[in-house]
């Protein structure tokens, strides 16, 4: 598990982030993220801070009030893995991340105080904090995807 205060502080270096609510195992943030490209950047920063990787769980089509909505699961979840046995990559982790971008209009600003802010916090980021595996140990870090920065270091040689 990771320290939520530390995550919010580090996310604020790149994005404007406010904690909307936090429960025992879940947290909801509001962020200044306005497009799918910014969601991908947010996910990269979040993954780097928390030392986790995420696989897409589902993608919700845009609607009248929602610009973007996608959900991810921890890469140690059962998704896309053999369900017959537990392995080091399949621990059945239930940690999840859900990002929804709300439409920013005059009417939505009236009903949502976070959209009325400057800058408007259009993204609703919900995540289930608790992983059922270690996060920042060498045995788990070796299972993370290799970052583009690491690949570029080895390509230069």
Is this structure's pTM higher than 0.85? no
Three-class DSSP category at 87: coil
Q: Write down the pLDDT at residue 154.
A: 67
**Domain span holding position 132:** 4-155
Average pLDDT, the chain: 79
The H-or-E segment that residue 20 falls in is strand 17-22
Q: What is the pLDDT of residues 94-115, one digit of tens each?
A: 788 899 999 999 998 999 999 9
Domain count, the chain: 1
Edge-to-edge strands of the sheet including 54-60?
17-22, 26-31, 123-128, 96-102, 66-74, 54-60
Question: Residue 31: is it exposed, middle or buried by C-beta count within 10 angstroms (0-12/13-18/19+)?
Answer: buried
Q: Write down the pLDDT at residue 40.
A: 92
Q: What is the pLDDT of residues 42-80, one digit of tens each?
A: 988 888 888 787 888 888 887 788 999 999 888 666 565
Mean pLDDT computed over 82-86: 59
Q: What is the pLDDT of residues 115-149, one digit of tens each?
A: 999 899 999 998 887 766 656 555 555 555 666 66
């Amino acid at each position: 598990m990771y320290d939520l205060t530390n995550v919010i502080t580090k996310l604020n270096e790149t994005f404007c982030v406010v904690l909307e609510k936090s429960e025992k195992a879940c947290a909801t943030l509001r962020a200044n993220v306005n497009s799918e490209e910014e969601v991908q950047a947010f996910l990269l920063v979040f993954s780097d801070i928390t030392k986790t990787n995420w696989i897409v769980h589902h993608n919700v089509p845009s609607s009248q009030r929602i610009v973007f909505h996608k959900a991810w699961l921890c890469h140690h979840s059962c998704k896309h893995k053999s369900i017959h046995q537990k392995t080091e990559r399949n621990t059945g982790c239930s940690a999840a991340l859900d990002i929804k971008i709300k439409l920013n209009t005059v009417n939505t600003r009236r009903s949502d105080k976070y959209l009325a802010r400057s800058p408007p916090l259009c993204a609703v980021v919900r995540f289930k904090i608790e992983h059922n595996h270690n996060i920042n140990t060498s045995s788990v870090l070796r299972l993370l995807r290799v970052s583009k920065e690491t690949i570029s270091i080895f390509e230069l040689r």
